[in-house]
Structure 1
Amino acid sequence: MQKRPNLLLIQTDQQSAETLRLYGNPVLETPALEALAERGVVFEQAFCNYPACSPSRSSMFTGRYASTIGIQANHMMINPAEVTLPQLLKEQGYQTAIIGKNHAFMENTETYYPGVVTDPEKASTLRQVFDYIRLADHGHLVDGHRDDPETKAAHEWSHTCWVSPLGHGTNPARPEKCGTHLLGETMIDYLEHQRDPEKPFFTWLSFPDPHTPYQAPEPYASMFDPATVPLPPKDNLEEKPERQRVAYLMDAMDTADDDLIRQVRAIHYGMIRFIDDTLARVFAKMDELGLTDNTVVVFTSDHGDSMGAHGLIQKHNMFYDSFTRVPFIVAAPGYQGTARTDHPVELIDLMPTFLDMAGIPIPPGAQGRSLAPYLRGQNYVPREYVVIESGEEGEPLRISDITVRPEHPFDDRCFVWCAYRDAWIGKGKCIRTLEWKLNIYASGEGELYDLKKDPDELENRFDDPACADIRSGLERKLLYWTMDKEDRLPLNTTVKLNYAEVKAKHAE
């Protein structure tokens, strides 16, 4: 019997695909990820299913859309009654580990979801589904190092960059005392000393960076000259939904100049390079231990960061590629296929892919699609489109409602807009093909972009009569998706008559 593969999910937080040279960035080299891509495949068109942390992570681990599992907004986490990837892997003999940021699994079964979990031992909660747990916070605190004075000082300093929209800076701490490095050391220790060598492992190595706070120690803080950092095209915000203009004002982006945005992007790049150097050590240890040739590795992020695109910063209740298009690199043992593909991928595809690669049945409620046939060189029909959801029910804030706002990008009186519940009020759905993107909002607003002619999503053609057929066709596809997406659970076991059995009986 073929040995079951180890499964390693490496996830960053709030990193757009465009930050990497692998996706066309002219500045940011990531040698470790580029080496990973050389023995695998870069999925060029990969998208989160919700542009915020916990809905994205929760849908990814259940293989089910956020609206299906009842997660309407950030900070809601997985219903313990849901079936999750680590739960199934653990039941099938995998040793499961989380090293880093969680923001998906509850700590207990006292839940805000209706109903009661009948068997707490089988609940999909953090300490039921993971055998090994080392958590990390935004900033620099990592389990096992929380009492280190230098690490605590690095963490406290980082929060001076947390409280304003464009706060950023150079952390005076040594890199060895910062969270990214410590997570790498924790991962290496797990591989070398903590894992059970008699079991295959599933490990979620989850970096809280390059999410805010935007800060890094030297040499990473000054590794990229802001003058060389590319800026996104200017968006004049004309014909765009009002929620975009609200976010633009509430994060004081109307007062931010190009030099400031370049400085923040340079720090963001430094944080990513810090992660890449850390991964180089992890990959070297895997090579040393002889694990590389039997480990499926996926690198991705939970959602993007606009980093100045569309006049916005961080994440928001919108569907631009800067928020939704994420890196997705897969290295699988024996992979012999193309180095790059434009097959559309959704993050909910990760759960069925890992299960399929491990030879474990995909649960009937899963809505993602396994990429394992593609990775094995078997017949594979790619998605025609991806769908992304966002927002809570209600009327979104309007410009006329704003009476208090930050006066400048370092004004810490109001915190960052994407942290407010109000910023996520107002449901929307996005359907995206390789050629077109349609965004529909419950408020009646909409966006339509010709991605071939306008890849930066600057010209909204939602009301353009010349695009009426394109719009109606995408609306029809979204309707069909909505019907297909309706929850497959519970399975109908009440009807006993089965026509296939009748046909088989009469054919005897």
Structure 2
Amino acid sequence: MGKPNFLFVMFDQMAALSLPVYGHPLVRMPNLEKLSRRGALFENAYCNAPLCSPARFALMTGRYPSAIGAYDNATELPSDQPTWAHRLRALGYRTCLSGKMDFTGADQLHGYEERLTTDLSPSDFGWVPDWDRPDAVLSWSHSMASVAEAGPCDYTLNMEYDEDACYKAIQWLHRRGGEADARPFALTVSFMHPHDPYQAPRQFWDWYEGAEIEAPQDDGNPVDARDVFGRRMYRLYDRGEIPVDAQQVLRARRAYYGMLSYCDSLLGRLLDRLELLGLSEDTVVVVTSDHGDMLGERGLWYKMVCFERAIRVPLVFAGPGIPAGKRVSDPVSHLDLLPSFTAIARAETAGDGRSLLPLLQGERDAAREVVGQYMGEGYDHPLIMLRRENWKFIHSEADGSFLYDLAADPLERTNTADSEQGRALRDEVRRRWDLAGLRAAVLASQRRRRLIHAALTQGRVAPWDFERRENAAGSYWRNYGDNRPDPDRALRLPRARP
């Protein structure tokens, strides 16, 4: 057998702890459950930053966000940073992206040979945080409107975008089959759901009619009694401006569950198409999310904290060479995807992560650690997270240190950072990262990008957004006298007889 294909399916803001494959008793996702049974599920997988762009850039490059300047959602991914799309392309793969990847800047491909859609988020520096004014309310920041307005919806921008991304990916798979290009493919399909606003397609909202939607296990103390992260998030997107009652919290959670089921239907369409095209046996399917969602736990929403609901993500591998029904408990992260993909493609690469293949083959690795970082809005100092075995350590020079035993304290309420272990971890973080230098670099980057954005939005604006050009002449019937193949016969299934 030659090199396998890759189908990499990514969702946005999908919390592992809300999924049935991770034990949620109510949410319905039959396609993901079926995929996990025929493949491997990583029980303790993490993103490397609880924010979209930094998480995605770390995932694509296999490097810590701080190492590549991936500070926030208006950070440019440098074009000289190799991604796994570059590496697979160099190994002979045809690389394609359908959907969002939050590429900011003039390079909108980063190793993808083809791209089928633009992004939903800005491709410019419009969303730069301001650590010079950490308490300022910026026009683009989150609010509690997503929770207050939660419910069923018949049509939304996010639905339109995800339907388009799914359709174009399926169309690409079909048209690839009618072309002479025999290279294996690495297709990324990246969806916006279940990212807020919490608006569930009505069909999937109705799936949960009469269901007993559980309230948050830990819905937060009064604001003045919350921990430092709770107070920061209150100032960032709440501030008491849009009051939310217990019923609205339950509606938001029901909508999120409906959005998860909608995500599962999108995944099902892609898997069904692989089967129809005879590609299932030759394709490694990987499913994950860029980060999670607090969904009202601790009184918090969205992401931007290092608690489990925000930073722990689903991760499923299935396909040739992947053992069926396997569950891996070792902590892993998105940094491990690049070396895993290249290993599956029979090559080796360097990076900050480690291949997952040994874990899939049954090896245990007690030395594995997960590193998380946050340098975005809501804070004014870098935040570092370490996960080792059952322990999670969080530190910033502004807010102090936090150490949790996740086995004994899954809600992360008992801080033991004053222990000998906690002090040793704090010293280690300070040795491994120049936190003062990193803060200075973040501030300098923010100031440059704010200046550039202010300048580039004066006068004539030249957007960086990706715009796809359709090749109508090469896709439909035309008569140029060059004996081109019949476009319908090249695509038709089952194949037309000669």
TM-score, normalising length: structure 1:
0.74
Report deviation, 1:452: 1.8
1:289 partnered with 2:274: no
Q: Which residue of 2 aligns with 1:117?
A: none
Task: Write the distance in 2 (CA, Å) between the matches of 1:253 and 1:266.
Answer: 24
State the alpha-carbon separation in 2 of the partners of residues 58 and 198 from structure 1.
29
Which residues of 2 match residues 212-223 of structure 1 at below 5 A?
212-223=196-207
Return the alpha-carbon distance in structure 2 between the equivalents of residues 238 and 454 of structure 1. Answer: 23
Aligned counterparts, 1:204-283, within 5 A = 204-225=188-209, 228-234=212-218, 235-236=220-221, 241-252=227-238, 255-283=243-271
- Determine if the alignment matches structure 1 residue 28 to structure 2 residue 12: no
Shift of 1:481: 5.5
| Deviation of 1:163 (Å) | 8.2
- Does residue 370 in structure 1 map to residue 351 in structure 2? no
Aligned residue in 2 for 1:173: 155
Query: Matches of 2:91 and 2:393 in 1, distance apart?
Result: 41
Per the alignment, residue 386 of structure 2 pairs with 431
| Structure 1 counterpart of 2:83 | 84
CA-CA distance at 1:445 after TM superposition: 2.0
Q: Note closer, same or farther for the CA distance 1:353–1:58 as it changes in structure 2 (3 Å cut).
A: same
Aligned with residue 332 of structure 2, among 330, 334, 345: 345
Do 2:93 and 2:186's aligned partners in 1 also have CA atoms closer than 8 Å?
A: yes
User: Partners of 1:447 and 1:174 in 2: how far apart?
Assistant: 39
Q: How big is each residue's C-alpha offset from its partner over 1:379-430, in whole Å with a ceiling of 9 and x where there is no partner?
A: 56354321211125xxxxxxxxxxxxxxxxxxxxxxxxxxxx4x24321111
Of the three residues 134, 144, 152, the one matched with 2:116 is 134
The gaps in structure 1 that reach 5 residues or longer are 109-124, 140-158, 393-420, 487-508
Residue 452 (structure 1) aligned with residue 407 (structure 2): yes
Tell me the distance in 1 between the aligned counterparts of 2:144 and 2:119. Answer: 16
1:331 pairs with 2:328: no
Cα separation, partners in 2 of 1:80 and 1:424, compared to 1, 3 Å: farther
> Who is 2:445 aligned against?
none
Partner SS, residue 90 of structure 1: helix
Give the one of 160, 165, 168 matched to 1:186.
168
Instruction: Give the deviation of 1:231 after TM superposition.
Output: 2.6
CA distance in structure 2 between the aligned counterparts of 1:131 and 1:287, rounded to whole angstroms: 24
Q: Partner residue of 1:475?
A: 426
Summarize deviations over 1:339-374 as a string: whole Å, max 9, x none. Answer: 212111111111111011011231x4x111111233
**What is the CA–CA distance in structure 2 between the aligned matches of 1:175 and 1:471, rounded to whole Å?**
45
Structure 1 pair 325–378 and aligned structure 2 pair: CA distance change class (3 A): closer
One-letter code of the match for 1:471?
G
Which stretch of the first structure deviates more once superposed, 444-453 or 168-177? 168-177
Structure 1 segment 14-25 matched on structure 2, within 5 A:
14-25=13-24
Please report the RMSD computed on the Cα atoms of aligned residues, expressed in angstroms: 2.9
Percent of residue pairs identical:
30
Instruction: Say if 1:60 and 1:348, in contact at 8 Å, map to a contact too.
Output: yes
CA displacement at 1:223 relative to structure 2: 2.3
Moved more, 272-281 or 245-254: 245-254
Pair 176,303 (structure 1): closer, same or farther in 2 beyond 3 Å: closer
What is the alpha-carbon distance in structure 2 between the residues aligned to residue 452 and residue 100 of structure 1?
A: 37
1:130 maps to a residue whose letter is Y
Supply the AA of the counterpart residue of 1:345.
Answer: V
The CA distance in 2 between the partners of 1:265 and 1:351, in whole Å, is: 33
The equivalent residue for 1:50 is 49
Q: CA deviation at 1:14?
A: 0.9
SS at match of 2:167: helix
Q: Distance in 2 between matches of 1:163 and 1:479?
A: 35
Task: Give the Cα–Cα distance (whole angstroms) in 2 for the partners of residues 176 and 439 of structure 1.
Answer: 33
Quote the Cα distance in structure 2 between the aligned partners of 1:426 and 1:240: 19
Q: Which amino acid aligns with 1:25?
A: H
Give the deviation of 1:64 after TM superposition: 0.4
Q: Is the 8 A contact 2:146 2:197 kept in 1?
A: no
Query: Which whole-Å CA distance do the structure 1 matches of 2:325 and 2:109 have between them?
Result: 39
SS at match of 1:178: helix
Distance in 2 between residues matched to 1:469 and 1:97, nearest whole Å: 49
Mapped to 2, the partners of 1:183 and 1:163 lie a distance apart of 28
Deviation at 1:93, TM superposition (A): 1.5
Q: CA deviation at 1:459?
A: 2.7
CA distance in 2, matches of 1:5, 1:329: 17
Query: What letter is aligned with 1:261?
Result: V
Separation of aligned partners in 1, 2:20 and 2:173:
29
Residue pair 1:434, 1:451 contacting (<8 A) in 2 also: no
Change (3 A) 1:239 1:226: farther
SS at the partner of 1:129? coil
Q: Which letter does structure 2 place at the counterpart of 1:68?
A: A
2:493 corresponds to which residue? Answer: none
Gaps of 5+ in 2: 122-139, 438-498
Match of 1:388 among 372, 375, 385: 372
SS in structure 2 opposite 1:219? Answer: helix
Question: 1:243-277, CA deviations, whole angstroms, 9 ceiling, x for partnerless residues?
Answer: 42132254338642322111011111111111111
TM-score by length of 2: 0.75
CA contact (8 A) 2:318 2:324 kept: no
CA positional deviation for 1:313: 0.9
Deviation at 1:222, TM superposition (A): 2.9
- Which of residues 146, 160, 164 is equivalent to 2:145? 164
Return the alpha-carbon distance in structure 2 between the equivalents of residues 127 and 430 of structure 1. 30
Give the alignment of 1:77-156 within 5 angstroms. Answer: 77-103=76-102, 105-106=103-104, 108=106, 125-127=107-109, 129-135=111-117, 137-138=119-120
**Structure 1 residue 165: Cα displacement:** 4.4
2:39/2:317 contact within 8 Å kept: yes
Instruction: State whether residues 37 and 324 of structure 2, in contact with CA within 8 Å, keep that contact through their aligned partners in structure 1.
Output: no
1:338: how far off? 5.4
Q: Distance in 1 between matches of 2:91 and 2:110?
A: 14
C-alpha change, 1:28 and 1:162, in structure 2 (3 Å) is same
Q: 1:302 to 1:295 in 2, by over 3 A?
A: same
Q: Give the letter for the 1:164 counterpart.
A: A
**Aligned mates of 1:354, 1:293 — CA distance in 2:** 17
SS at match of 1:83: coil
Partner SS for 2:343: helix
1:321 counterpart residue number? 308
Q: Deviations over 1:318-340 (max 9, x none)?
A: 21011100001111313236521
Partner of 1:298: 286
* Displacement after TM superposition at 1:240 (Å): 5.3
